[in-house]
């Protein structure tokens, strides 16, 4: 039972009703304390603090309304849920109880099933409110401490709130995409349901993000009216923005092509294993790279100031934190995923542990590459566009070859992108990024000092 240790104070002047209801609640594994009127119930409250109070309205010496008023005047008892028992359904009593914050009424004769249903519901609601209050208090405490620390630097002050806003916007977009996809599928739109819902979610996310950004700036940005200035701005921004867009589209199409190859060559069950394994690695990567993502505003500021020593200090620490986090998550996920799926009694499965380890190495290298690519992007250039797109194509071609000429099976889909990336991108771009910082990748990671 979910509430086996909960205590209930039952107040009624009728011995028969007290015994009957008390027995009903005890059989449901509640601890019941009995009182015959409001005065005796107040004496019980001096000894125990119940999780819920069930009280009759019409009683001698102190009736239920007076008893409820006395309870609500004590701050220690203010949050205790209150249920009234009454044989009188007059609106006056109900209205008075509502004003005092009484949660529910039960009309005599009492149905035991209805009593237990209401008690369970009220206790569950009280537990939810308590958990929410604890979560809020925890969040506010962490928020205050984080802002106190960040307050030392005017450039990073308020960063916690901005990260929280960013996370909320991503969550809203994900819910909109999920709900929109389900609605469009139900309406019979078919295969276009997911991309259409995704597009709508992105537009909403962009609108909300722009509003949040303007709120952080404190004033709307100036609107350029000079056509020549507009052309200069577009000329500066569009080339790299378009390259990043092409890179995103290429990566998406490459992933979809690999999934289609798996489905058509190895079947639906293998595709499900491949997809679930990718999701596990993607979650681990997303959680690990947060260490670096939250520092990109500071890194960009240091980049414009030419403070390469500051960037090296940040990256050295954050790269190791991200690697350690990813390694820990993968070390937990790989051995626990199969027994957990069996325990959940689901038909889903992941790839064999050996191939999961290879996939983890590939994901770690991809995460490493994305960091150095973003660092190069702060120099306002995207020289890695063609090599990455070529690597995607080579990965697909290599996977097709391995599937047809070897017996690797799913392993071909894991090994192909690792080999394609390792041929050039995984070692070249970290070297270029290290050159920007006037160091090398190995020296940055393994030297005693980042500079």
**What are the pLDDT digits (tens) for 15-66?**
988 999 999 998 888 899 999 999 999 999 999 889 899 998 888 888 888 8
Residue 147 forms part of a structural domain: no
pLDDT at 156: 55
Report d(CA 219, CA 217) in Å as an integer: 6
Angle at 305 between CA 309 and CA 147, to 5 degrees: 80
The CATH number covering residue 75 comes to 3.40.50.2300
pLDDT at 189: 81
Q: Are 204 and 224 in contact (CB under 8 A)?
A: no
Nearest CA-CA partner of 322 in 371, 280, 373, 374:
371
Residue 228 vs residue 349, higher pLDDT? 349
Terminal CA-CA length for the chain: 60
pLDDT at 364: 95
pLDDT at 89: 58
Among candidate residues 219, 235, 258, the one where a domain is terminated: 219
pLDDT cut 90: percent of the chain above it: 28
Residue 244 forms part of a structural domain: no
Mean pLDDT of 279-306: 86
Report d(CA 231, CA 227) in Å as an integer: 6
pLDDT at 450: 46
Report d(CA 197, CA 192) in Å as an integer: 8
pLDDT at 411: 92
Nearest CA-CA partner of 84 in 47, 123, 56, 59:
56
Cβ neighbours of residue 345 closer than 8 Å, sequence gap 6 or more:
none
Residue 151 forms part of a structural domain: no
Number of domains in the chain: 3
Q: Answer positive or negative: Cα dihedral of 46, 47, 53, 56.
A: negative
Question: Are residue 389 and residue 266 in the same domain, yes or no?
Answer: yes
- What is the average pLDDT value for the chain, to the nearest integer? 83
Q: Which domain holds residue 370?
A: 250-451
Report d(CA 360, CA 162) in Å as an integer: 30
Question: Are residue 208 and residue 267 in the same domain, yes or no?
Answer: no
Nearest CA-CA partner of 35 in 85, 110, 75:
85
pLDDT tens digits, residue range 388-446? 999 999 999 999 999 999 989 999 999 999 999 999 999 999 999 888 888 888 888 88
Q: Coil, strand or helix: which one is 212? A: helix
pLDDT tens digits, residue range 104-149? 888 888 888 888 888 888 888 777 777 766 666 666 665 555 555 5
Question: Are residue 275 and residue 181 in the same domain, yes or no?
Answer: no
CA dist 195 → 177, 186, 190, 278, 439 (Å): 9, 15, 10, 20, 43
pLDDT at 354: 94
Q: Are 35 and 10 in contact (CB under 8 A)?
A: yes
Question: Are residue 122 and residue 162 in the same domain, yes or no?
Answer: no
The Cα diameter of the chain in Å comes to 92
pLDDT at 145: 57
pLDDT at 155 over 70: no
Which pLDDT band, with edges at 50, 70 and 90, does 322 fall under? very high
Question: Are residue 192 and residue 283 in the same domain, yes or no?
Answer: no
Residue 117 forms part of a structural domain: yes
Give the Cβ contact number of residue 445 at 10 Å.
17
Question: Are residue 261 and residue 361 in the same domain, yes or no?
Answer: yes
pLDDT at 4 over 50: no
Instruction: Give the residue carrying structure tokens 């820990």.
Output: 328
pLDDT at 105: 82
Mean pLDDT of 361-390: 89
Which pLDDT band, with edges at 50, 70 and 90, does 361 fall under? very high
The mean-pLDDT minimum among 143-157, 167-181, 223-237, 335-349 falls in 143-157
Question: Are residue 428 and residue 326 in the same domain, yes or no?
Answer: yes
pLDDT tens digits, residue range 209-268? 888 878 877 666 666 666 777 777 777 777 778 888 888 888 888 888 998 899 899 988
Mean pLDDT of 197-201: 89
Question: Are residue 318 and residue 446 in the same domain, yes or no?
Answer: yes
Nearest CA-CA partner of 425 in 379, 392, 381, 380:
392
Question: Are residue 121 and residue 45 in the same domain, yes or no?
Answer: yes
Q: Please provide the DSSP assignment of 399-422 as one string.
A: HHHHHHHSS-THHHHHHHHHHHHH
pLDDT at 423: 94
Report d(CA 27, CA 10) in Å as an integer: 15
Residue 136 forms part of a structural domain: no
Question: Are residue 316 and residue 444 in the same domain, yes or no?
Answer: yes
Question: Are residue 74 and residue 191 in the same domain, yes or no?
Answer: no
CA dist 414 → 258, 328, 359 (Å): 10, 21, 6
Cβ neighbours of residue 372 closer than 8 Å, sequence gap 6 or more:
429, 430, 432, 433, 434, 441
How many helices and strands (H and E) does the chain possess?
A: 16, 5
Question: Are residue 370 and residue 318 in the same domain, yes or no?
Answer: yes
């Amino acid at each position: 039972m979910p509430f086996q240790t909960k205590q209930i104070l039952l107040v009624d002047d009728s011995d028969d009703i007290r015994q009957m209801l008390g027995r009903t609640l005890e059989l449901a594994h509640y601890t019941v304390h009995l009182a015959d009127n409001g005065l005796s119930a107040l004496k019980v409250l001096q000894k125990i603090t119940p999780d819920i109070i069930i009280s009759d309205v019409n009683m001698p010496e102190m009736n239920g309304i007076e008893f409820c008023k006395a309870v609500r005047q004590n701050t220690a008892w203010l949050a205790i849920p209150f249920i009234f028992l009454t044989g009188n359904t007059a609106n006056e009593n109900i209205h008075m109880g509502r004003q005092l914050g009484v949660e529910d009424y039960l009309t005599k004769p009492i149905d035991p099933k209805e009593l237990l249903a209401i008690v369970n519901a009220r206790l569950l609601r009280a537990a939810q409110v308590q958990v929410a209050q604890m979560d809020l208090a925890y969040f506010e405490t962490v928020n205050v401490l984080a802002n106190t620390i960040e307050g030392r630097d005017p450039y990073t002050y308020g960063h916690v709130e901005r990260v929280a806003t960013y996370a909320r916007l991503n969550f809203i977009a994900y819910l909109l995409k999920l709900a929109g996809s389900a609605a469009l599928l139900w309406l019979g739109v078919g295969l276009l349901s997911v991309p259409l819902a995704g597009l709508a979610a992105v537009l909403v996310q962009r609108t909300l993000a722009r509003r949040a950004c303007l709120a952080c700036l404190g004033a709307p940005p100036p609107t350029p009216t000079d056509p020549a200035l507009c052309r200069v701005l577009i000329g500066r921004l569009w080339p790299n923005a378009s390259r990043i867009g092409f890179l995103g589209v290429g990566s998406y199409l490459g992933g979809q092509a690999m999934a289609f190859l798996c489905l058509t060559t190895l079947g639906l069950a293998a595709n499900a294993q491949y997809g679930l394994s990718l999701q596990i690695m993607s979650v681990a990567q997303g959680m690990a790279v947060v260490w670096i993502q939250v520092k990109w505003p500071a890194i960009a500021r240091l980049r414009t100031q030419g403070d390469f020593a500051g960037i090296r200090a940040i990256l050295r620490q954050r790269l190791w934190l991200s690697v350690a986090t990813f390694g820990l998550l993968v070390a937990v996920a790989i051995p626990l995923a199969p027994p957990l799926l069996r325990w959940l009694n689901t038909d889903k499965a992941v790839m064999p542990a050996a191939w999961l380890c290879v996939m983890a190495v590939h994901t770690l290298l991809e995460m490493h590459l994305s960091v150095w690519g973003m660092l190069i992007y702060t120099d306002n250039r995207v020289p890695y566009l063609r090599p990455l797109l070529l690597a995607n194509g080579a990965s697909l071609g290599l996977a097709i070859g391995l599937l047809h000429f070897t017996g690797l099976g799913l392993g071909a889909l894991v090994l192909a992108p690792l080999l394609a990336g390792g041929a050039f991108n995984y070692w070249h771009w970290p070297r270029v990024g290290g050159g920007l910082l006037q160091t090398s990748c190995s020296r940055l990671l393994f030297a005693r000092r980042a500079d």
